[in-house]
Structure 1
């Protein structure tokens, strides 16, 4: 069912009841599936008010990031499909142009909406078409460089776009920086808000129009100079983001303005669920949880790679005061919350600014410190130029802790970390390591900081957990040869060279079939001594990686001899559980064996037919 026409017929009491129903539905589904809970609970009334004024099918509503669009999905024909969200073959947790006409622009990364909206608006204008173009963007997303660059172009392009700022003082972690302080002042200025309400009640008729200037001057005098007005963009608000009537009135007022307008809407991230209201960061990207208690459903005794990284960095920092941790608004996600608490002066959350984080780390290294930038693989893509120009070119000793490397599961193609090997291994001076388990991750970190760091280092590890406790891991900590390729099993005829945690699947295959298995922790540099031994002593050699085949680890080996590459194929991978995706891509134990046997059979057929391939 499409609810757009339905909500336009509701009175405000019915809308309030419907908003409650939407929240209950979102909480129920996400408690079972996992997903972005807090951000979506905060945008229910905003979406209802917006779609009573603008038409998501005729107009162009561009949602920034896409993880605040569950209500949008429910209203635009996906109510019955919502229980499939983030499941394999189900609907996406983000906007997707392949899913609905109402999803005008796909997004999973922050800060793209205004630039996309400007492009759409100019494209419509060039074709003589008319439609309202509206952006919904969080205040945290405005720390992104792309968003600020696009804002700077609005006046130059004679744009008429309407920008709705969802101001909840949060991105993923709490917002930081001067812009955050501006919105904080704006949303919390009781004097301005109270006087605004008084003026609305007392000013009538034509006098209201004349005195609007006074109201805006009052806002500036109380909250300070207006950032958007300085860019020649009209700025209205703040408006109560949970008052549908007030938002609807403001949206109707600005709908046909022939100039660009920004409207700030104050919302509460996590609204309507007792646990997420008190801790929205914890429920930003929530796993499965019990609704009554808010407790996450976890397997006891397991520890994640992110936790091991964070706890290991704390241990190292206790003995080395030069270690500095940096994050781009992902303190909890990257496991740095304990570090931030223990060493607040050595922890930097620079907001959603991956490019700045990379270069900032370079600056720290130039004055003798040891910076670690903890970042998801998919987000480091945004700082690619800085890794080359600012870090590797100068051979600066910066450690990149690349979380969520490989398949991340339910977040899907916008978040899979399958390209980092391909885009990093081409960069001179940079070393890349991929541990095979949590113990190996701890050993790798320990060794890196015990030895002189002579250039940039990247460590990639997955969104995964293993059975164990950190105390046990730390008790077994040891120095290792980072560039050694370990022969975990010696066999005959067939050899597998594997990197990262996928090695554990490959090892099972090798053990069951009497094949050689080499664990290549060091993706770059390549251990040519072990590689040449493998090539000289085996008829068939395979590389296995949880990364893109195109440009990946296996491809880097091909110049040394005939090696068959197994990894992520040349396409964007859908969402689904990590276990399901590994099976679908034949990267689980059974799948790796199938791929190897297919290649061997085809190779034998080729040899038996005088060099003619049979498929």
Structure 2
């Protein structure tokens, strides 16, 4: 077990050995539990150097996104508990204020760190408390608007913020945009690297004072400007130091000691290798960014090798659709791999765009395409699409434009926890006038809905689907998934007294719950608008209507059903099952369904409890 005190007492050579111990611990646990392997292996030395100089028990240290905080967690009292990483009730994969006082600010989404740090710094000033405030920021975050807005405030706020820019050339997929290219050119420049080494050598042997230091500073700045133009960060009022080798603990400690006493804001640019120290991760940093469970010796991933994921099926369907329709254009936000669009990007490079971590820009870019008659499809995880709510309303819906949103990772996403669950998309899309929301019950239905809406359904269209996979014949999927009327619900099982109206992924759980209940099961593939014709028929023949959705109850599907029946004067009772007034923790999908009481056993129990009816055998069930 390694603690903060061990790090602060350790010699620089000892820290190198500690780095290897920590790296081995991370690989061991992530191989069993899954997790963000590559990012964390890349910042081991950086974290140790940082905590050799700054003490997170006293100094405020904020990790942007915080998926790269495993070393931080290990050395701040969670070494033993680290075996429970991402397990239900165990250590979170992200910083969490309720987990440790050294987790100064919780995160999971990119771009929040600098704004939060400025707020904390202002609070400390108002209370006359002196603490260093440090942010660790990935270079991928520089594509994010909130980061750029916050950088613009640092000088105005008279901040003394210290920013460590961890530059590994990647966010999840490779970085895009002009800032990324500027950082890359500076990082790899042979001229700058040689100059840096000369300056470092002179400073190490010279004791002549400020004169030579100032001259060398002018040399450095001149070369920097020659290579990259006016320094972006220094134009914003930040002293720009680097780039430095993020795995060179000795140099990092020297620089950070100087930074600690520097009385102005600064940014220390370090370059690291994503996946450092584990060859498979270094070779495929995208796969091991959020790694599945894998065998440490064979490096073979253990997860769904014979299954097809919703994302993969979506990506394959997009290629087929684009072959038939030249107006289809795919957009994502640093998620080409995760959303299944990698093949699409290779086959149709002119009709694909990865805008980086810029969900707002993605939506408005899509609106621009739509205004010119194209059919843009924006593929973004549900949790990240929340960031573009204004753009969906102002730039798409209000202007009556046709944009399809492929809402990946809708519902409970498992081990990534509350920052990543996609439980609010039904509520925020429902509130938008004339929007349409579809929720396929399985992968074949996803493809059928895509086929059915791409050329025919106008306006804001959301298709939500979970982080899940199924055993399915991929070769025949496109052919066997027939176009349907996506607005029509479907009765899957007829019963009496009680009807379960199931949204998307809840169809399977509802069918299982109905076994032994005298219950009807309806697949509500269209969340909005409601299939009012079938809903009226169901309500005429049942005493209890139960809605089941893997999303927030507030503003959700169930509320719309209850409101419709109330306004229409129906007397059937309504029970809404979904996610209540709480943030769902991390754990396996099965554990979280049970936690939210959305598993089949809990659904059955809720129906019996609410209706007061006893459990029936299947032989007792009657039809209507």
Query: The TM-score by the shorter chain falls in which range?
Result: over 0.9
Which of 526, 532, 548 is the aligned partner of 1:528? 532
* Cα displacement (A) at 1:511: 4.2
Name the CA distance, whole Å, in 2 between partners of 1:36 and 1:338: 23
* Cα displacement (A) at 1:2: 6.2
- The question of 1:584 aligning with 2:601 is answered no
Deviations 1:506-561 (A, max 9, x none): 01222432311111100000111111111111011100000111111001111114
Name the CA distance, whole Å, in 2 between partners of 1:589 and 1:198: 68
- The question of 1:570 aligning with 2:581 is answered yes
Counterpart in the other structure of 1:368: 373
Secondary structure at the counterpart of residue 563 of structure 1: strand
> Which sections of structure 2, spanning at least 5 residues, go unmatched?
567-572, 615-624
Counterpart in the other structure of 1:613: none
Deviations 1:42-79 (A, max 9, x none): 00000000001111010100100010100000110011
Name the CA distance, whole Å, in 2 between partners of 1:342 and 1:575: 36
Counterpart in the other structure of 2:106: 106
Contact 1:439 1:473 in 2 (8 A): yes
* Cα displacement (A) at 1:220: 1.7
Which of 495, 502, 523 is the aligned partner of 2:506? 502
Counterpart in the other structure of 1:398: 403
Secondary structure at the counterpart of residue 78 of structure 1: coil
Counterpart in the other structure of 2:74: 74
- The question of 1:434 aligning with 2:439 is answered yes
Contact 2:304 2:469 in 1 (8 A): no
- The question of 1:230 aligning with 2:235 is answered yes
Counterpart in the other structure of 1:269: 274
Counterpart in the other structure of 2:621: none
Name the CA distance, whole Å, in 1 between partners of 2:490 and 2:457: 22
Counterpart in the other structure of 1:198: 198
Name the CA distance, whole Å, in 2 between partners of 1:232 and 1:310: 43
Contact 1:401 1:459 in 2 (8 A): yes
Which of 545, 551, 558 is the aligned partner of 2:549? 545
Farther-moved stretch of structure 1 (148-157 vs 198-207): 198-207
- Equivalent residues in 2 for 1:438-457, closer than 5 Å: 438-449=443-454, 451-457=455-461
- The question of 1:407 aligning with 2:447 is answered no
Secondary structure at the counterpart of residue 378 of structure 2: strand
Deviations 1:196-237 (A, max 9, x none): 111221241214422223222222222322111111211110
TM-score normalised by length of structure 1: 0.96
> Which sections of structure 1, spanning at least 5 residues, go unmatched?
604-615
Deviations 1:289-347 (A, max 9, x none): 11223221124431111111011111111111111111100111111111111111111
Farther-moved stretch of structure 1 (586-595 vs 143-152): 586-595
- The question of 1:4 aligning with 2:4 is answered yes
Contact 1:586 1:594 in 2 (8 A): no
Name the CA distance, whole Å, in 1 between partners of 2:326 and 2:17: 55
Secondary structure at the counterpart of residue 532 of structure 1: helix
- Equivalent residues in 2 for 1:133-148, closer than 5 Å: 133-148=133-148
Counterpart in the other structure of 2:265: 260
Counterpart in the other structure of 2:256: 251
- Equivalent residues in 2 for 1:88-103, closer than 5 Å: 88-103=88-103
Counterpart in the other structure of 1:474: 478
How many aligned positions are there?
603
Deviations 1:454-478 (A, max 9, x none): 2110000000011113212112121
Counterpart in the other structure of 1:606: none
Contact 2:439 2:504 in 1 (8 A): yes
Counterpart in the other structure of 2:56: 56
Name the CA distance, whole Å, in 2 between partners of 1:468 and 1:154: 53
- The question of 1:215 aligning with 2:215 is answered no
Farther-moved stretch of structure 1 (509-518 vs 427-436): 509-518
Secondary structure at the counterpart of residue 135 of structure 1: strand
Query: Are the structure 2 counterparts of residues 2 and 19 from structure 1 closer, same or farther at C-alpha, using a change threshold of 3 Å?
Result: closer
Contact 1:301 1:469 in 2 (8 A): no
- The question of 1:382 aligning with 2:387 is answered yes
Query: Are the structure 2 counterparts of residues 145 and 480 from structure 1 closer, same or farther at C-alpha, using a change threshold of 3 Å?
Result: same
Counterpart in the other structure of 1:178: 178
Deviations 1:262-289 (A, max 9, x none): 1101100111111110111111001101
Secondary structure at the counterpart of residue 567 of structure 1: strand
Q: Which runs of 4+ in 1 moved over 4 A?
A: none
* Cα displacement (A) at 1:584: 2.2
- Equivalent residues in 2 for 1:286-325, closer than 5 Å: 286-325=291-330
Query: Are the structure 2 counterparts of residues 602 and 260 from structure 1 closer, same or farther at C-alpha, using a change threshold of 3 Å?
Result: farther
Counterpart in the other structure of 2:619: none
- The question of 1:167 aligning with 2:178 is answered no
Secondary structure at the counterpart of residue 412 of structure 1: coil
Counterpart in the other structure of 1:85: 85
Name the CA distance, whole Å, in 1 between partners of 2:473 and 2:95: 38
Secondary structure at the counterpart of residue 147 of structure 1: helix
Farther-moved stretch of structure 1 (227-236 vs 206-215): 206-215
Contact 2:141 2:357 in 1 (8 A): yes
Farther-moved stretch of structure 1 (249-258 vs 142-151): 249-258
Contact 1:418 1:546 in 2 (8 A): yes
Name the CA distance, whole Å, in 2 between partners of 1:447 and 1:128: 62
TM-score normalised by length of structure 2: 0.95
Name the CA distance, whole Å, in 1 between partners of 2:599 and 2:613: 21
Secondary structure at the counterpart of residue 356 of structure 2: coil
Farther-moved stretch of structure 1 (559-568 vs 261-270): 559-568
Secondary structure at the counterpart of residue 258 of structure 2: helix
Name the CA distance, whole Å, in 1 between partners of 2:87 and 2:470: 23
Farther-moved stretch of structure 1 (192-201 vs 434-443): 192-201
Secondary structure at the counterpart of residue 265 of structure 1: strand
Contact 1:302 1:469 in 2 (8 A): no
Counterpart in the other structure of 1:13: 13
Deviations 1:132-184 (A, max 9, x none): 00000001011100000000000000000011100011011100001101110
Secondary structure at the counterpart of residue 58 of structure 1: coil
Contact 1:163 1:262 in 2 (8 A): yes
Contact 2:38 2:285 in 1 (8 A): yes
Secondary structure at the counterpart of residue 291 of structure 2: coil
Query: Are the structure 2 counterparts of residues 499 and 39 from structure 1 closer, same or farther at C-alpha, using a change threshold of 3 Å?
Result: same
